[in-house]
Amino acid sequence: MTVEAFAPAKINLTLHVTGQRADGYHLLDSLVVFADVGDRLSLAPADDLTLTVTGPRAEGVPTDGRNLVLRAAALFGAGRGAAITLDKHLPAAAGIGGGSSDAAAALRGLAGLWGVALPDADRVLTLGADVPVCLAPRALRMRGVGEEITEGPDLPPMGLVLVNPGVEVPTPVVFKALTRKDNPAMPHPPGWSTAAVMAHWLTAQRNDLEGPARAAAPVIGDVLDAISATPGCLLARMSGSGATCFGIYDTRAEAETAAAAIRTTAPTWWVEAAAPFTL
């Protein structure tokens, strides 16, 4: 039996930094959604635990214990085998949770392959703040250091564009550059009838990491300008700690048109049109 698992791109529609604990970890309040573009994992029975990485974004991805997929597998304990193939499509260190979503998909897939329960929440959190929210990808509100997850609102139909200019923005550098770490929390997301109504609500919210990320990588401003200039764009914002940015549109067709236009003007950027994904 071979198990297939999808690892969708994570998008932080909002990311409010609301505090910092004594141990240095930052407190967040974020509305997270997922896109129907991402990586794919194939997991097959085997005597030993192995990882093979393929796909257009395979170069440079480690296949040893540095990879979150193998670290996720280790949470189940020693003595279990699986041949895991990771088909890599998402850029690394891009603010869209590629590694975290891979790890969460591996946890789901291995639990199914081996017929066991998922590791407990505290152990999953040791893999990183974004891994728990990626376990059941849908609209979710994530707070604290990633341990407090509650249901988000139903999403209206919409199109999405994801754009990464090919620069890595180290997350620690972005957090270190924050001038204020006790920003206001996000109000409760009310739910919206259309993408336009949702985008209007989001304009009053923030990604508190966008300013520091743009200072570290000014090309992020170019990306946001390029998305904003496309017809039908309702909102352009950076996701996570960057450098990937997203645009919201009324329809997938508008997003496809926008993605094509951005690819024409910036052929070296990673550009994908998408729609929201729910597992």
Query: Are 17 and 181 within 8 A, CB to CB?
Result: yes
d(CA 18, CA 184): 6
Which residues participate in catalysis according to the annotation?
10, 130
Whole-Å CA distances, 200 to 22, 33, 220, 235, 253: 36, 17, 22, 8, 20
pLDDT of 221 = 98
pLDDT of 154 = 96
Query: Are 12 and 98 within 8 A, CB to CB?
Result: no
Same topology, domains 3-144 and 153-274? Answer is: no
**Helix, strand and coil in the chain, % to nearest 5:** 30, 30, 45
End-to-end CA distance of the chain: 21
Q: Enter the tokens of residue 47.
A: 């005597």
pLDDT of 223 = 98
pLDDT of 33 = 98
d(CA 51, CA 71): 11
Domain 3-144 = CATH 3.30.230.10: yes
Which superfamily is assigned to 153-274 in CATH? GHMP kinase, C-terminal domain (3.30.70.890)
pLDDT of 34 = 98
10-residue block means of pLDDT along the chain (279 residues)?
97 98 96 98 98 97 96 96 98 95 98 98 96 97 97 97 95 94 96 98 98 97 98 98 98 98 98 96
Q: How many CA atoms lie within 13 A of 193 on its CB side?
A: 0
Residue ranges of domains in the chain: 3-144, 153-274
